[in-house]
Structure 1
């Protein structure tokens, strides 16, 4: 499975073999020093993720007096000094503040989202009028209307509104509006998580299949804070069982109706489970039709579901990373968990305590306990897929 911050390519390093009498020329000198630079970059890329180290703030300013009259408008910001590190481990150093003009023009009535991004510039790739003994590594700031690439660091984004544009600071920094500087999506340089876990909701004809969709997002958001070595995907996907399912580590299915699969869907889910995927079925207490159909599916897959309490005491669903002697209560009722060969059947509506309820009445401890069990399920899904994937042919280091 792809990761937003991929590891370095699996390519051995080459270094200069020194010996007495070796003639040092520019090519050999560069090769000797590139070895150390590339090795340092690979070390950073292996253990960390790219982002902003410090500074690089964005503030609204008036148009500089020296610019031409056609640029004397309200589209100017100032980029503050700071440091970032890109995906490849290169330092991006902005040594002093400088003005930047937002140039995107709007055509029609549609708003346009623009991004300010910083990227590393290798001085060896620059054209120079004359060779120098010392060159300074530098950077580039770009304004673009497409998502930043893997080698770019987002500094801010601005949703430009049609009409005359005036860039302003937001009244509420957590909820910026049109023409406001939006800093919410900046990424800080930090330790790299072991894995990114992606989850999708299974859609079907059951009108109840989407009732917990927003709580799935709350669970994914909680992962980074409660278990930093794991990271939840940015968005919850939506799939049908006839589609390609391999993009996701965990499929979430809920509702009350019996799950009926045609031959294509059955083979698809069988392949998905055999390759390490996990199907989480979250059934309410009165969802007998769904519960019976999932037990029948497990029997058909020749892996009957067994209650968690009948399995080993150190089963990862109960112990990794959070320890559960008793399972959480939902609506004053303890949930039940049955599992076998990639299917986890939860009876008791666990997703209902992963996020906010409509009346804001759930106690914090209830939500936190539910999220911790949810993270155990996500961890289990990732580990199961990793262990099975490591036994497949040619996985190219992706696990």
Structure 2
């Protein structure tokens, strides 16, 4: 997983206690005064950082505890190790050695296929106005849970397990980077760290189910894989920009499904088969500041002319500029990586046109974002293709951001 997008803090004004001479202090006012500072701290953390694990919070397999009933004495027991985490609101999650950290994975095994179970921890506010506490101190508490849906924003993932049919016997993975079914999987734990400057959201157009043969399905899966490689590379090559982990699948028949994304990837075969309703969806999407990336991996001149003249120029009423006409200071050329000439991939130079939110690429750029089938592609070729791809992602995010500021 490369990045999970977390919500910004809610836009709610702050109110604090009005203090004046003669003010009588009671528990309600005392809590109000302290809640103000606590909320400011949470909003500050949420504005600049993202949640995750600070230290520790490992998970180890254990034998059933002696006090467990006979029906629960199985190989489903784990123990969470001491450690510290922070949730999305900046609340500290402290798991110390003194508390009971044993936990049994109770989710039933699936009858067929597999079922992913997430082991999570969350912060629990100890204050309960309906329950009077005699102690002067209230411990801030935590809660362990298991769930079959991805963790909610206020939960921190400790590990996940892919349950298999049959009797569940949890195991340590023989290869921690490639765990199998019923084995502890730590690969998706998130570390607490600074929030990236930008999170770009990418989608591809769903294939028409009626035309979704095996060949097109493989092509769609390969495109999704290469887009994922590109987003993965952004975290390492340009950490200020990260991409949402999941590549969206949208239909241009439902315009609302597209508006969430900053960049919409379209294959050339999809563009030449546009219906009028889909063209209108693209027009509307471009007005929101989105970027449409049209990928034409072949060097077929006639195919490119159809896209440029019949679709982009006539239908969308957009005039494209070729790479040589694009300004020196244009983000595609300069942000964050500087490009003079376009790269050569598989022995041929990439061609690129851009205008009014539409980018047309001809050549094997997208295929070079990932691995080829024979693992023969040169590392420098992959890196150069990824850097140009990151420029496209950055341009998509920046254009969308500025456009949204005016709406």
TM-score of the pair, normalised by structure 2: 0.90
The 8 Å contact of residues 155 and 183 in structure 1, kept in 2 or not, is answered as: yes
Please identify, of 189-198 and 376-385, the stretch whose mean Cα deviation from structure 2 is larger. 189-198
Q: Which aligned pairs between 1:104-183 and structure 2 lie closer than 5 A?
A: 104-106=107-109, 108-125=111-128, 128=131, 130-183=133-186
Q: Which residue of 2 aligns with 1:284?
A: 297
Aligned match of 1:187: 190
Q: CA deviation at 1:272?
A: 0.7
Q: Distance in 2 between matches of 1:279 and 1:121?
A: 44
CA–CA distance in structure 2, aligned partners of residues 294 and 274 of structure 1:
20
Compute the RMSD of aligned alpha carbons. Answer: 2.1
Please identify, of 324-333 and 266-275, the stretch whose mean Cα deviation from structure 2 is larger.
Answer: 324-333
Q: Which of 297, 302, 313 is 1:299 aligned to?
A: 313
Residue 102 (structure 1) aligned with residue 115 (structure 2): no
Q: Which residue is equivalent to 1:389?
A: 404
Matches within 5 A, 1:374-385: 374-385=389-400
CA distance in 2, matches of 1:174, 1:114: 18
Q: Is contact 1:258–1:290 with CA below 8 Å preserved after alignment? A: no
Report the Cα offset of residue 29 of structure 1.
Answer: 0.9
Partner of 1:396: none
Q: Does 1:367 align with 2:368?
A: no
Q: 1 CA distance for matches of 2:347 and 2:113? A: 50
Q: Secondary structure at the match of 2:142?
A: strand
Flag the 1:33–1:304 CA change in 2: closer, same or farther, 3 A: same
Q: Give the Cα separation in 2 of the matches to 1:234 and 1:80.
A: 28
Greater helix share, structure number: 2
Structure 1's 256 and 64: CA in aligned 2 closer, same or farther, altered over 3 A?
closer
- Taking the TM superposition and a 5 Å limit, the aligned residue runs for 1:1-399 are 4-96=5-97, 98-106=101-109, 108-125=111-128, 128=131, 130-202=133-205, 203=207, 210=220, 212-244=223-255, 245-255=258-268, 259-296=272-309, 297-300=311-314, 301-392=316-407
Q: Can you give the 5+ residue segments of structure 2 that lack an aligned partner in the other structure?
A: none
- Judge conservation of contact 1:257–1:287 (CA < 8 Å) in 2: no
Separation in 2, partners of 1:169, 1:314: 53
Q: Deviations over 1:126-160 (max 9, x none)?
A: 87563321111010001222221111111111122
Moved more, 98-107 or 83-92: 98-107
Shift of 1:212: 3.2
Unaligned runs of 5+ in 1: 393-399
